[in-house]
Chain A
Amino acid sequence: DIVMTQTPLSLSVTPGQPASISCKSSQSLVHSDGKTYLYWYLQKPGQSPQLLLSEVSSRFSGVPDRISGSGSGTEFTLKISRVEAEDVATYYCMQGTRLPLTFGGGTKVEIK
């Protein structure tokens, strides 16, 4: 299985400041079709996960443009340009390049 490792485990951010979450995979996530199937999810307290980004950087419907994704190969980053109160959540990366689908352990974002 591809192991997804997220850092940090938690992050405390002042509103209006940026935040960055790292996700590293144990194998390259570049598929034989040339695409990279790396996704990001957000799970607010007491809620189900929500899909934020597909294929590293494509925003899902309704996701604000202050949330962005980047990276390639085995190293990926989720960035929030200006953290707002509504961003309080646990963020997960997930790979779909190989089965089984596997998730990172999560990064909890809190507001200072």
Chain B
Amino acid sequence: QLQLQESGPGLVKPSETLSLTCTVSGDSISSSSFFWGWIRQPPGKGLEWIGSLYHGRISGVGDTHYNPSLKSRVTMSGDTSKNQISLRFTSVTAADTAVYYCAGQLRGYSYAYVPPPHYWGQGILVTVSS
């Protein structure tokens, strides 16, 4: 069973960079079976897709897709030695306060560009405040 665990600071100051890590267990981030995504949820609000990363070895599969509204501030990457996916979010403001979820997106189902998030971490609350 795939398990994902987010980690990082719970408090970030405005204008600083938020860095989060997702530790994956149960499969390799280099597995051809998954995309890896980040989704966030402001307190009491709905869900927003941040982006998805493919770290596998099937050629022709797009590597990274970002939400255009966030693309200028977001970078996702993978560390195979630690089996981790990272999210880097620059120039944060109070509007970036949210629970950030890491997700495994299973390629076994058909999809258009990226699979839907299937497996979710428990989420980490990040507050942006001075």
Binding site for B on A (CB under 8 A): 1, 31, 33, 35, 37, 39, 41, 48-51, 54-55, 60, 92, 94, 96-106
Give min CB distance, B79 to chain A, whole Å: 23
CB-CB under 8 A from B109, the residues of chain A are 54-55
Per-position 1/0 for B38-68, Cβ under 8 A of A: 0000000011110000000000000001111
The chain A residue with its CB closest to the CB of B115 is: A96
Supply 28 A–B pairs (Cβ within 8 Å), ascending by A.
A1-B69, A31-B112, A35-B112, A37-B111, A37-B112, A39-B116, A48-B122, A48-B123, A49-B101, A50-B120, A55-B109, A55-B110, A94-B116, A96-B111, A96-B113, A96-B114, A96-B116, A98-B113, A99-B65, A99-B67, A99-B114, A100-B67, A100-B68, A101-B49, A101-B116, A102-B49, A103-B47, A105-B46
CB-CB under 8 A from B122, the residues of chain A are 48
Which residues 100-130 of B have a CB within 8 angstroms of A?
101, 109-118, 120-123
Picked from A41, A94, A96, A106, the residue with its CB within 8 Å of the CB of B112 is A96
CB-CB under 8 A from B49, the residues of chain A are 100-103
CB-CB under 8 A from B46, the residues of chain A are 92, 103-106
Interface residue SS majority, chain A: loop
CA distance A41 to B47 in the complex (A): 11
Number of interface residues of B (CB under 8 A): 24
B47 lies within 8 A of A48 (CB): no
Picked from A35, A49, A51, A94, the residue with its CB within 8 Å of the CB of B110 is A35
CA distance A1 to B67 in the complex (A): 10
